[in-house]
Amino acid sequence: MKQQRIMKTNELELDAVRKSVREHYGKIGSRGSGYGCRPASGSAPKPSLPGDAVTLSRAIGYSAEDVHSVPDGANLGLGCGNPVAIASLRPGQTVVDLGSGAGFDTFLAAKAVGPEGLVIGVDMTPEMISKARQNKAKGSYGNPGTQGGLPPDDLQPAGAVSRCFGAHRI
């Protein structure tokens, strides 16, 4: 009985966290800027000026080519590192970008896997999904797809990228 109460409490706490994250990132997706996922007291400086998404991204491992090769609005400055740089992606691979947001890493992965590959961006907020789709329409990207929830069951990706969690071979 006590364990059931603890589990129910944990589920309620997790639901509250999910709701808070959805609301927070949904607002960022709607307004189009975020500038960092670290708290103000974190180790990295928190940019405060418009356009600082580029500066922040450069500071955490993205190249100048990376930040300028994606559609305007894809880089919201929410990263914690560059998972695509360590993923060793190859042309023709299928990759899932978990927590894809407005598509920054999704577009970089699409460039790495080329037109024969496939990148699926997955995000939990409808606002970010919408933003990523708008960004895809701005660029010349044929292979990134963006969706909410989980990728299709029959998908067999070679790897997954996730900002703040790195890159993983599957």
Give the predicted TM-score (pTM) of the model: 0.74
Confidence of residue 69 (pLDDT cuts 50, 70, 90): very high
- Integer distance in angstroms from the first to the last C-alpha of the chain? 38
Q: What's the fold here for domain 2-169?
A: Rossmann fold (3.40.50)
Mean pLDDT of the chain: 78
Phi and psi torsions of 121, nearest 5°: -90, 130
Q: Would you state the pLDDT for residue 160?
A: 77
Cα distance between residue 71 and residue 134, in whole Å: 9
Q: Would you state the pLDDT for residue 104?
A: 93
Q: What pLDDT digit, counting tens, does each position of 103-149 carry?
A: 999 999 999 999 888 888 888 888 998 999 899 888 777 766 666 65
Over the range 143-167, which residues count as b (16 or more CB within 10 Å of their CB) and which as e? bbbbeeeebeeeeebbbbbbbeeeb
Instruction: Please name which of 36, 1, 45, 31 lies closest in space to residue 163, comparing C-alpha atoms.
Output: 36
**Torsion, CA 89, CA 92, CA 96, CA 99, rounded to 10:** 60
Confidence of residue 38 (pLDDT cuts 50, 70, 90): very low
> Mapping DSSP to helix (H, G, I), strand (E, B) and coil, where does residue 6 land?
helix
Q: Would you state the pLDDT for residue 42?
A: 44
Q: Would you state the pLDDT for residue 43?
A: 43
